[in-house]
Amino acid sequence: MNKRLVIRLQSSILLIEAAAMLPSLLVSIIYRDGATHAFLKTIGLILLFALPMHYFSRPIEKNLRAKEGFVTVGSAWVLLSVFGGLPFVFSGLLPRFEDAVFEAVSGFTTTGASVLTQFDDAPRGIMFWRSFTHWIGGMGVLVLTLALLPQMTGRTSHLARAESPGPSFSKVLPKMGDSAKIMYLIYAALTMLQFVLLVFVGRMSLFDAAIHAMSTAGTGGFSNYGSSVAAFNSSAVDVIITVFMIVFGINFALYYRLLIGDFKSFFKNEELRWYLGIALFSIVAVSLLIMPQYGNFFSALRYGSFQVSSIISTTGFVTADFDLWPSAAKMIILLLMFIGSCAGSTAGGMKVVRITLMSKNISREISKTFQPRKVQVVHLDGKGVDNSMLFQISLFICAYVILTLIGAFVVSLDGRYDMLSNFTACITCVSNVGPGFGAVGPTRNFAGYSTFSKYVLSLLMLCGRLELFPILVLFHPDVWRKG
Amino acid sequence: MRILVVGDGKVGHTLAENLAREEHSVTIVDQNESVLHRSEDTLDVMCVRGNGANASTLMDAGVDKADIIIAATASDETNMLCCLIAKRLGAKHSIARIRDPEYNESLNLLQRELGIDMAINPERATALEISRLLRFPFASNIESFAKGRVELVEFRAHEDDVVVGVPLRDLGRKLHGLPHVLYAAVERDGAVTIPNGDFIIRAGDRVHVVADMVTITAYFRFLGKNSLRVKNVMLLGGGRISYYLAKMIAPMGIRVSIVEIDELKAIALSESLPDVKILHGDGTEQEFLEQEGLKQMDAFAALTDRDEENLMTGLYAVRQGVPKVIVKNNRVAYEDIISAMGLDSIISPQSITCANILHYVRARVGGHGTKVEKLYRLVNGKAEALEFIAREGDSYIGVPLKDLNIRKGTLIAVIVRKGRVIVPFGGDHIEAGDSVLIIACESGIGDLNEVIRK
């Protein structure tokens, strides 16, 4: 393995993290929240760590192979989370290291599961940083690195591929740097639009609007209020956030198609149609199921649609305690946690395109059992899909479920909570949603788990965000062997 | 520049690799998913799967905004159709690989009617290259610049060459009458150096010298290398290259014999090349080659479709004492190993095709300042020779070279002014309109202003 190159890239990524702390530092200074020293200390530590790494690892060979790409992405995210957690420790908000790491991982992976119990007097700079990790974690830290550093190495596609969600990775422009730039521009523009709407239509304060816009954009779910978006109790806010949660669950490459005037491929996109179809069906079904609890259809629709789009986009904001809903509605929520949103968005889950292709593949297998000679190619967007791709998708779905089950078992060793809580805690972490059911339900949090379980859940979040393999390769002995 | 490469074979991939490295936005179109995966993995390019002659595939690949489309699929017809459609859809320039000799005869008409700006025939281009080597057998490679006024010649230094063992600055003093040429680059053990005055040439070095044609000829005559004139050539393999080559060199008074293993093919060749001696037999049989007078040949070219066969018979010909042996080899990667075995003139149709297309593309790189007129890769691309035209208003115009900042690892080899070749010294200067030949150890230079600054 080309260790020098991997180390070099890690140092660049850490330096970008230090730069990413500057806005939070600024917020901390403006509001005089007393956490300024926490950011200064963290930035200092990162520089102390990353600068020597940078200067003593001039790569001899600049070729990045698949192995190095995966190892770089996997270990970069671990490092990012460790350093990203330090402001929580230094500010005294989360003095225990495992809590800080959990919170940072939850931030970068856009999960939004929290161990924070004190919201009222929390330093504003720290709260801003918490949501800012959602924002850069959503589109990807390495994608940001690719956008900012021109010609980092010759072969960068492995990095973006390991970090971008979805079964296949496609650039919107021939050059990786240009692609990454245009993606971040679209992302930033949409975030800005939501921020403006939240301020002027939702009547939020600038700080609240910034926090919620960034958390929505990354489909993260951190709020600066203990009761999440319910704290605003405003239907305007609910509607804006509902719409934008769905918007950020759509493949960003499609927004680029819109931007260049190619409306046809936007509206004809199969994954988008499935995604919106699933969302619409769930909203209607859930709203009808919970109508008896809320009395009239419109408030049922308001709370139903918010919760559904929050879960399908794997954001995890809440305005109602869905743990109290009828079990059919709860079941829909649970299924949505597995599915997630579109590939190439900021959301987690298995991704709608995988579910789509898996369903088509199953239906093909069924028709093959009674028509053994039938030859049929699975299509997506009018193009044939390779069998190897279908195989990979089946494998991914299996691995996803197995990982969740193993995680649930390991977390159960705690002996603190019931099966449903442990299971949904794991699925909500792997899918980067945030809330689960029972002890980790919408109104509760993850503070009660043991130190060991918090590390396990952090690992699950990283696995889910990077779509398993970049993290799992780190545990494969061959990767660390020479040659 | 936005460039579309249709066909992800050896040529397509190599082109995409070079163009992407030169900061162009490259999109590759091919029908085969697995070759696209390879390109996507190793290059910073975009890949589109589909038929290159299909308008909707081309639109997906962004043909309407493309500056250049290069059609390099295996099929001539697809390439022509692809260029035709691409031009209609808005591509600005089109390049097609057309290899069938039948099309070649009506190439001008086809090019005009289909809007193909450049048609390249790899076999013909290869034959042209070989014919040049046969005319100057002392060289293992020749490239001409400034409309043929300047030649860059590569040769391997032998123990008994007089230039070996003397520092370059003392050559003129020690060897009276040695014509003055520029030592542009020397390859030793796979590494390339741009030599200075203290450099000493050793036996086995591959030396690149630059000068005008007359000086070069005189130089090699001084070294005693120019006694050889090719009169008898044996070509192994009766493919298209041999056909084109025989057509080119037979009228020059060179006696050509072609060895072809397939009888029908041999007969067909004899039909189309009445002046050429066609031999039917297996070229890997040593006895057969000896019988046909391999030892008496001035030059031997192994041009079959199989690299291994070409290499082995090439080595055999060297052993038999044939003074000039040329070997066709498609796998560029092994060039170092082959040249270590004593075969100097290795020819690859793919690299020749790529080089020709790259010349064309580079000449169309717009923008400010000067642009590359011609680019030639030395020693597997470890160094480059680039030709520029100096433009009015650039900062280096009229300033003596010794007062200019010249980029490290680059050398101003030759200045051509109004047809006169100047091998420059510190007191010389560049005037607007001059052709300037630069030798550089790195690739990716696109502008003379990047190399010299005031």
Task: Report the range of poorest mean pLDDT among A93-107, A142-156, A404-418, A426-440.
Answer: A142-156
The Cβ of residue A399 has, within 10 Å, a number of other Cβ atoms equal to 15
A174 touches B at CB < 8 Å: yes
- Distance (Å, rounded) from C-alpha A200 to C-alpha A240? 11
CB contact under 8 A, B33 and A386: yes
Nearest beta carbon to residue B44 from set A156, A170, A386: A156
CB B258 within 8 A of CB B269: yes
Judge whether A3 is closer than 8 Å to chain B, CB to CB.
Answer: no
DSSP A437-465: SGGGSTT--GGGS-HHHHHHHHHHHHHHH
For residue B393, the distance in angstroms to the closest alpha carbon of chain A comes to: 30
Q: How many alpha carbons fall within 13 Å on the CB side of residue B217?
A: 8
Averaged pLDDT for residues A430-442: 92
Contact A328, A288 (CB under 8 A): no
Which distant-in-sequence residues (6+ apart) come within 8 Å of A86 by Cβ?
Answer: A38, A41, A42, A45, A100
B2-120 with B364-453: one CATH topology?
no
Q: Which of B5, B44, B57, B442 to mutate to test the interface with A (most CBs of A within 10 A)?
A: B44
Say whether B44 and A386 touch across the interface (CB within 8 A). Answer: no
CA distances to B51, B81, B84, B111, B241 from B54, rounded to whole Å, are: 5, 9, 11, 20, 31
Between A and B, how many residue pairs show a Cβ–Cβ distance under 8 A?
Answer: 32
What's the pLDDT band for A62 if we cut at 50, 70, 90?
Answer: low
The pLDDT tens digits along chain B (454 residues) read 899 999 998 889 989 988 887 778 899 999 988 888 888 888 888 888 889 888 988 988 889 889 999 999 999 999 999 999 999 998 988 999 988 877 877 878 888 888 888 888 888 888 888 888 887 777 877 877 776 778 888 888 888 888 888 888 888 788 777 888 888 888 888 788 888 888 888 888 888 888 887 788 788 888 877 656 788 999 999 888 999 999 888 887 889 999 999 999 999 999 988 888 999 988 888 888 888 888 888 899 999 988 888 998 999 998 888 888 999 988 766 777 777 777 878 888 888 888 888 878 877 765 434 467 777 777 666 788 888 888 887 888 888 888 888 887 788 888 888 878 888 877 888 888 888 888 887 766 777 887 887 7
Q: Which helix (H) or strand (E) holds B48?
A: strand B46-49
Q: What is the CA radius of gyration of chain A?
A: 22
Q: How many CA atoms lie within 13 A of B151 on its CB side?
A: 19
Say yes or no for a CB contact (<8 Å) between B40 and A176: no
Whether residue A174 and residue B33 make contact (CB cut-off 8 A), yes or no, is no
Q: Residues of B with CB below 8 A from A174's CB?
A: 2, 20, 25-27, 44-46
Residue B388 · residue B433 · CB < 8 Å: no
Backbone angles phi, psi at B99, to 5 degrees: -115, -15
Is the pLDDT at A153 greater than 60? The verdict is no
Question: Average pLDDT of chain A?
Answer: 90
Residues of chain A found within 8 Å of residue B43, distances taken between Cβ atoms:
155
What pTM does this model have? 0.80
**Between residues B399 and A29, which one has the greater pLDDT?**
A29
Task: Report the percent of chain A where pLDDT is more than 90.
Answer: 64
Query: What's the CA gap between A182 and B392, in Å, rounded?
Result: 37
Cross-chain Cβ contact A158/B25 below 8 Å:
no
b/e per residue A195-224 (b: at least 16 CB within 10 A) = bebbbeebebeeebbbbbbbbbbbbbbbbb
Kindly indicate the confidence band of residue A437, based on its pLDDT and cuts at 50, 70 and 90. Answer: very high
Taking 70 as the threshold, does the pLDDT of residue A59 lie above it?
Answer: no
What is the maximum span of chain B, computed from C-alpha positions, in angstroms?
68
| Chain B residue with the nearest C-alpha to that of A171 | B46
Contacts of A315 (CB under 8 A, 6+ apart): A112, A215, A216, A219, A220, A221, A245, A248, A309, A347, A433, A434
Which residues on A lie below 8 Å from B49 (Cβ)?
A: 383
Residue-range domain boundaries for chain B: 2-120, 232-352, 364-453
What CATH superfamily is the domain B364-453?
Regulator of K+ conductance, C-terminal domain (3.30.70.1450)
The shortest C-alpha distance from B109 to chain A (Å) reads: 34
Note the pLDDT of residue B365. Answer: 66
Residue B376: CA count within 13 A, CB half-sphere? 22
Choose the mutation target among A157, A161, A381, A389 for the interface with B, i.e. most B CBs under 10 Å. A157
| CB-based contact A174 B2, cutoff 8 Å | yes
Say if domain B232-352 classifies as CATH 3.40.50.720. Answer: yes
Does B42 touch chain A if contact means CB atoms closer than 8 Å? yes
Max Cα separation, chain A?
A: 73
Quote the CA–CA distance of A171 and A392 in Å, as a whole number. 20
Structure tokens at B349: 């149709």
- pLDDT higher than threshold 50 for residue A331: yes
In terms of CA atoms, which chain B residue is nearest residue A62? B42
Number of residues written out for chain A: 483
**Are the Cβ atoms of B26 and A174 closer than 8 angstroms?**
yes
pLDDT at A45 over 80: yes
Cα B12 to chain centroid distance, Å, stands at: 16
Give how far B46 is from chain A: nearest CA, Å. Answer: 4
Arithmetic mean of pLDDT, A470-477: 86
CB B29 within 8 A of CB B4: yes
Q: What Cα–Cα distance (Å) separates residue A211 from each residue in A92, A124, A132?
A: 21, 10, 8
Question: What distance in Å separates residue B374's CA from the closest CA in chain A?
Answer: 25
| Yes or no, beta carbons of A157 and B25 under 8 Å apart | no
Q: Determine whether the interchain pair A155/B27 forms a contact, defined as Cβ–Cβ distance below 8 Å.
A: no
Bridge-based pairing of strands B383-389 and B372-378 is antiparallel
Top pLDDT among A340 and A482 is at: A340
Residue range A207-234, pLDDT digits in tens: 999 999 999 999 999 999 988 999 999 9
Percent of all residues in chain A with a pLDDT value above 70, rounded to a whole number = 97
Question: Closest residue of A to B57, CA-based?
Answer: A383
Euclidean distance between CA atoms B85 and B374, whole angstroms? 29
Give the phi and the psi of residue A266 in degrees, each rounded to 5: -70, -55
User: Which residues on B lie below 8 Å from A157 (Cβ)?
Assistant: 40-41, 44
- Helices within B234-285 (DSSP H only): 240-249, 263-272
Closest-CA distance of chain A to residue B17, Å: 10
- Domain spanning B2-120, CATH architecture: 3-Layer(aba) Sandwich (3.40)
Contact in structure between A70 and A469 (CB atoms under 8 Å): yes
Does residue B342 sit in helix, strand or coil? Answer: coil
Q: Which helix (H) or strand (E) holds B325?
A: strand B324-328
pLDDT score, position B368: 37
Nearest to B46 among A154, A156, A171 (CB): A171
pLDDT at A151: 54
| CB < 8 Å to B46, chain A | 170-171, 173-174
pLDDT at residue B370 in the model: 44
Residue of A174, A178, A383 with shortest CB distance to B27: A174
Pairing of strands B2-6, B372-378: unpaired
Tokens found for residue B221: 């005559």
CA distances from A35 to A27, A62, A124, A415 (A): 10, 40, 8, 36
CA distance linking residue B375 with residue B388, whole number of Å:
9
Minimal Cβ distance to A175: which of B40, B41, B44: B44
Residues in chain A closer than 8 A to B33 (CB atoms):
386
* Residue A340 binned pLDDT confidence (cut-offs 50, 70, 90): very high
The confidence score (pLDDT) of residue B292 equals 87
Tell me which residue in A157, A173, A178 faces B41 most closely, judged by beta carbons: A157
Interface probe with A: pick from B8, B46, B60, most Cβ of A within 10 Å: B46
Answer yes or no: are the C-beta atoms of B357 and B70 closer than 8 Å.
yes
pLDDT at A34: 87
Using the Cβ of B33 and the Cβ atoms of chain A, whether some distance falls under 8 Å is answered with: yes
Q: What is the pLDDT of residue B228?
A: 63
Select from A64, A149, A171 the residue whose CB has the most chain B CBs within 10 Å, as the one to mutate to test that interface. Answer: A171
pLDDT given for residue B380 in this prediction: 64
3-state SS assignment for residue A385: coil
Q: Chain A contacts of B20, Cβ < 8 Å?
A: 174-175
Mean pLDDT of A405-414: 94
In this prediction, residue A58 carries a pLDDT of: 73
